[in-house]
Structure 1
Amino acid sequence: MSFKIAIIGAGSVGFTKKLFTDILCVPEFKGIEFALTDVSEHNLQMIKAILDRIVEANKLPTKVTATTDRRKALEGARYVISCVRVGGLEAYADDIRIPLKYGIDQCVGDTICAGGILYGQRNIPVILDFCKDIRDVAETDAKFLNYANPMAMNTWAAIEYGKVDTVGLCHGVQHGAEQIAEVLGAKSPRELDYVCSGINHQTWFIELRLNGREIGKDELVAAFEAHPVYSRQEKLRIDVLKRFGVYSTESNGHLSEYLPWYRKRPDEITRWIDMSDWIHGETGGYLRYSTETRNWFETEYPQFLEAASKPIDPSKRSNEHASHILEALETNRVYRGHFNVKNDGVITNLPQDAIVESPGFVDRFGINMAAGITLPEACAATCISSINVQRMSVHAAISGDIDLLKLAVLHDPLVGAVSTPEEVWQMVDEMVVAEAAWLPQYAHAVPAAKERLSKSSVKTREWAGAARRSVRSIEELRAEKAALKQAG
């Protein structure tokens, strides 16, 4: 087969390498072309060198190109994959730092909450630029695979306003299923059959069967509470399982941001999180992890380049959806996964314009969603709260209406549980001013926001959060990796 895949944000080096090797595990795809594009020439050249080394080591006819000219990369592409982070770690740091001044403690801040909403404001104008380029220069009916967060907002904008065939992809469902299989004593995650449905980062395992036997709430609660690691790391998820009756796909830290009951009181936060890894609830945990990962990669790049000389092992193909979707579309080998699409009847008790994450099947006819799923009422209620925030956020990003943006942030469950309207209005002004370089649609609103900030009497505080860790140095990371290697 011969076709072109463009990867936007290919400077996300580790993830791009994973997508690349996954796709090349499909025998029919050896001769395709990958066009890499990114705003960072430095990152682009690093990833191209790694992928060239993989192609050379495996004696493949695969073509790899790299350019900062996005339209050139998209010319003739059949598939476009996005994994961009608009504003990089600089803007992301403000997504965490500024809300903390107003008492809002986020673990990740990339989906909703104050950080996720502003992240969407930065991403959506760029997503629409991508869509215009896809319509103009890619193959007719090219498919856009969005991996970038905030997943629901980006996908919503691309479908509703970008008018491009778009699917949003995430790996939260797979990771949750692996946990459940483990606590139930399965020899392989393949023994677990499940239906998972909801919205991105708030999907719910509404049906579970292990080797054909239905698994109920009580058995699952007992299994998690008996597990020596998850009983400590997933306290919040287990509590939600007890109360809602179903397990959430999302990590302890992520889930804590979407439900207003667990992170609104600083003295309560540490009760529900675990500090053994960022993903279990640490304040600004993903920002720290991302910063350390970037620093590690920059320093240890020669090792990454050397590792690229190893043969591709198809048995190590990951469970990221992209390669499996492409394989199904191009070869007609059917693939079942969980995809982010416009609702349109997929879930009966969520708004029809929302972006939902639910089961579907892929073959040469496209992505075919299982329709008519009804969520438990409590799950639907929490999803609807987030959907309302997402809808307002998308409309604000499209219109550049700062008042609508403030209303979106005000209606966020965690923000609303912590902050007053006056605090929200000032916080949004402060975030828009700080991130103005990536918010062209609010350029007209920045002078007035600065003026309001100069006269504001709303008090803030410098607060690191309830559970903050410092970014570790390269030396500390090396020592930790060496200790883990020795222990293993």
Structure 2
Amino acid sequence: MSFKIAIIGAGSVGFTKKLFTDILCVPEFKDIEFALTDVSEHNLGMIKAILDRIVEANKLPTKVTATTDRRKALEGARYIISCVRVGGLEAYADDIRIPLKYGIDQCVGDTICAGGILYGQRNIPVILDFCRDIREVADTGAKFLNYANPMAMNTWAAIEYGKVDTVGLCHGVQHGAEQIAEVLGAKSPKELDYVCSGINHQTWFIELRLNGRPIGKDELVAAFEAHPVYSKQEKLRIDVLKRFGVYSTESNGHLSEYLPWYRKRPDEITRWIDMSDWIHGETGGYLRYSTETRNWFETEYPQFLEAASKPIDPAKRSNEHASHILEALETNRVYRGHFNVKNNGVITNLPQDAIIESPGFVDRFGINMAAGITLPEACAATCMASINVQRMSVHAAIAGDIDLLKLAVLHDPLVGAVSTPEEVWQMVDEMVVAQAAWLPQYADAVPAAKERLSKAKVKTREWAGAARRNVRSIEELRAEKAALKQAG
């Protein structure tokens, strides 16, 4: 087989390498072309060198090109994969820093809440540019695979306004299933059969079977509470399981910022999170992790390049959906996964226009969703709160409507639990002004926002958050890695 895959945001070096090696685990794909594109020529150079080394080491005919000219990369592409972070870590830092001034403590801030909504405002204009280029220069009927957050908003904009065949992809379901299989004592995650459905980052395991035996709420609660690690790291998730009756896919930290109950007061935050790793609820945890990862990669790049000389091992193919979707579409080997698509009746008690994440099957006819799923009422209610915020956020981003943007932020569950309308209005003005370079649709609104801020009356505070850790130096990371290696 010979076709072209374009990867936008290929400068996300580690993730691009994973997608690349996964796809090349499919024997039929050795003759394909990868076209890498990114706004950073520096990052492009690094990832191309790594992928070229992999191709050379494995004696493959695979072609790898790299360019900052996105349209050139997209020309004739059958598949386009996006893993962009618009605004980079600079804008992301403001997604965390500014809401903290108003008492809003986020762990990740990339899906909803104040940070996720502004992230969407930065992404959506760029996503629409991608879609325009796909329509104009990519292969007829090209498929757009979006890995970038905020997943639902990006996918919503690409489908509704970009008019491109789009699917959103995430790995939260797989990770949640692995946890459940582990606590139930399964020898392999493959022993667990499940139906998991909802919206991205709020997906729910509504049916579980271990080797064909149904697993109920009480057995699952007992298994998690008995686990020596998860009982400490996932306290909030376990509490939601007890109250809702079903387990959420998302980590303790992610889930905590989508709900109005657990991060509304500093003392409550420390009660429900765990500081053993950022993903369990640390304030700005993913920002710290991303910053450390970038610094580490820049410093240790020669080692990453050397590691690329190893043979590709198909047994180590990851559970990221992309390679499996492409394999199913091109070879007709059926793949079952969980995909982000427009609802259109798949989940009976969520809106038709919402972007849902639910089970589907892929073959040469495309992605075929399992329809007629009904969520438990509490799960549907929680998803609905986020869907309403996502819808307003997408519409605000398309129109450049700062008033609608403020209403979207006001209706966010955690923001509403913490902040007053006056605080929200001022906070959004501050975020739009700080991120104006990445918000072209709000250019006309920025001068008035600056004027309002010059007369601001709402008091703010410089607050690091309830559970903040400093970014570790390269020396500290090396020492920690050495200690772990010695302990292992």
TM-score range, shorter chain: over 0.9
Residues 153-188 of structure 1: CA deviation (Å, up to 9, x unaligned): 000000000000000000000000000000000000
The separation in 2 between residues aligned to 1:113 and 1:351, in whole angstroms, is 20
Residues 68-106 of structure 1: CA deviation (Å, up to 9, x unaligned): 000000000000000000000000000000000000000
Describe the SS at the equivalent of 1:7. Answer: strand
Deviation at 1:280, TM superposition (A): 0.1
The separation in 2 between residues aligned to 1:487 and 1:361, in whole angstroms, is 43
The separation in 2 between residues aligned to 1:31 and 1:278, in whole angstroms, is 40
The separation in 1 between residues aligned to 2:268 and 2:202, in whole angstroms, is 22
Deviation at 1:274, TM superposition (A): 0.2
The separation in 2 between residues aligned to 1:161 and 1:232, in whole angstroms, is 43
The separation in 1 between residues aligned to 2:288 and 2:223, in whole angstroms, is 31
Deviation at 1:455, TM superposition (A): 0.4
Residues 343-397 of structure 1: CA deviation (Å, up to 9, x unaligned): 0010000001000000000000000000000000000000000000000000000
The separation in 2 between residues aligned to 1:141 and 1:124, in whole angstroms, is 21
The separation in 1 between residues aligned to 2:115 and 2:352, in whole angstroms, is 26
Post-superposition, which runs of at least 4 consecutive aligned residues in structure 1 deviate over 4 A? none
| Equivalent pairs, count | 488
Deviation at 1:254, TM superposition (A): 0.2
The separation in 1 between residues aligned to 2:31 and 2:18, in whole angstroms, is 18
Residues 431-457 of structure 1: CA deviation (Å, up to 9, x unaligned): 000000000000000000000000011
Task: Say whether 1:256 aligns with 2:256.
Answer: yes
Describe the SS at the equivalent of 2:367. Answer: strand
Residues 45-67 of structure 1: CA deviation (Å, up to 9, x unaligned): 00000000000000000000000
Residues 120-173 of structure 1: CA deviation (Å, up to 9, x unaligned): 000000000000000000000100000000000000000000000000000000
The separation in 2 between residues aligned to 1:259 and 1:417, in whole angstroms, is 9
Describe the SS at the equivalent of 1:362. Answer: strand
Deviation at 1:340, TM superposition (A): 0.1
The separation in 2 between residues aligned to 1:56 and 1:186, in whole angstroms, is 39
Describe the SS at the equivalent of 1:297. Answer: helix
The separation in 1 between residues aligned to 2:274 and 2:266, in whole angstroms, is 14
Deviation at 1:191, TM superposition (A): 0.1
Deviation at 1:284, TM superposition (A): 0.1
The separation in 1 between residues aligned to 2:345 and 2:405, in whole angstroms, is 28
Deviation at 1:227, TM superposition (A): 0.2
User: Which residue number corresponds to residue 278 of structure 1?
Assistant: 278
The separation in 2 between residues aligned to 1:170 and 1:132, in whole angstroms, is 24
User: Normalising to structure 2: TM-score of the pair?
Assistant: 1.00
Gaps of 5+ in 2: none
Describe the SS at the equivalent of 2:443. Answer: helix
The separation in 2 between residues aligned to 1:334 and 1:25, in whole angstroms, is 16
Gaps of 5+ in 1: none
Residues 442-485 of structure 1: CA deviation (Å, up to 9, x unaligned): 00000000000000110000000000000000000000000000
The separation in 2 between residues aligned to 1:354 and 1:132, in whole angstroms, is 22
The separation in 2 between residues aligned to 1:117 and 1:140, in whole angstroms, is 32
User: Which residue number corresponds to residue 421 of structure 1?
Assistant: 421
Residues 317-344 of structure 1: CA deviation (Å, up to 9, x unaligned): 0000000000000000000000000000
Describe the SS at the equivalent of 1:344. Answer: coil
The separation in 2 between residues aligned to 1:254 and 1:43, in whole angstroms, is 28
The separation in 2 between residues aligned to 1:288 and 1:376, in whole angstroms, is 35
Describe the SS at the equivalent of 1:25. Answer: coil
Describe the SS at the equivalent of 2:81. Answer: strand
Describe the SS at the equivalent of 1:416. Answer: helix
Describe the SS at the equivalent of 1:444. Answer: coil
The separation in 1 between residues aligned to 2:161 and 2:12, in whole angstroms, is 26
Deviation at 1:398, TM superposition (A): 0.1
Deviation at 1:237, TM superposition (A): 0.2
The separation in 2 between residues aligned to 1:266 and 1:348, in whole angstroms, is 37
The separation in 1 between residues aligned to 2:251 and 2:242, in whole angstroms, is 16
The separation in 1 between residues aligned to 2:267 and 2:225, in whole angstroms, is 24
User: Normalising to structure 1: TM-score of the pair?
Assistant: 1.00
The separation in 2 between residues aligned to 1:457 and 1:191, in whole angstroms, is 58
User: Which residue number corresponds to residue 454 of structure 1?
Assistant: 454
User: Which residue number corresponds to residue 39 of structure 2?
Assistant: 39
The separation in 2 between residues aligned to 1:132 and 1:44, in whole angstroms, is 23
User: Which residue number corresponds to residue 331 of structure 2?
Assistant: 331
Residues 253-282 of structure 1: CA deviation (Å, up to 9, x unaligned): 000000110000111101000000000000
Q: How does 1:19-38 map to 2 (within 5 A)?
A: 19-38=19-38
The separation in 1 between residues aligned to 2:180 and 2:457, in whole angstroms, is 50
The separation in 1 between residues aligned to 2:484 and 2:179, in whole angstroms, is 22
Task: Say whether 1:151 aligns with 2:151.
Answer: yes
Describe the SS at the equivalent of 2:340. Answer: strand
Describe the SS at the equivalent of 1:107. Answer: coil
The separation in 2 between residues aligned to 1:304 and 1:28, in whole angstroms, is 27
The separation in 1 between residues aligned to 2:401 and 2:298, in whole angstroms, is 39
Residues 11-70 of structure 1: CA deviation (Å, up to 9, x unaligned): 000000000000000000000000000000000000000000000000000000000000
Residues 232-267 of structure 1: CA deviation (Å, up to 9, x unaligned): 000000000000000000000000000110000111
Deviation at 1:417, TM superposition (A): 0.4
Describe the SS at the equivalent of 1:258. Answer: coil
Residues 401-439 of structure 1: CA deviation (Å, up to 9, x unaligned): 000000000000000000000000000000000000000
Describe the SS at the equivalent of 1:300. Answer: helix
The separation in 1 between residues aligned to 2:244 and 2:79, in whole angstroms, is 39
The separation in 1 between residues aligned to 2:473 and 2:11, in whole angstroms, is 22
Q: How does 1:150-299 map to 2 (within 5 A)?
A: 150-299=150-299
The separation in 2 between residues aligned to 1:152 and 1:366, in whole angstroms, is 20
Residues 272-327 of structure 1: CA deviation (Å, up to 9, x unaligned): 00000000000000000000000000000000000000000000000000000000
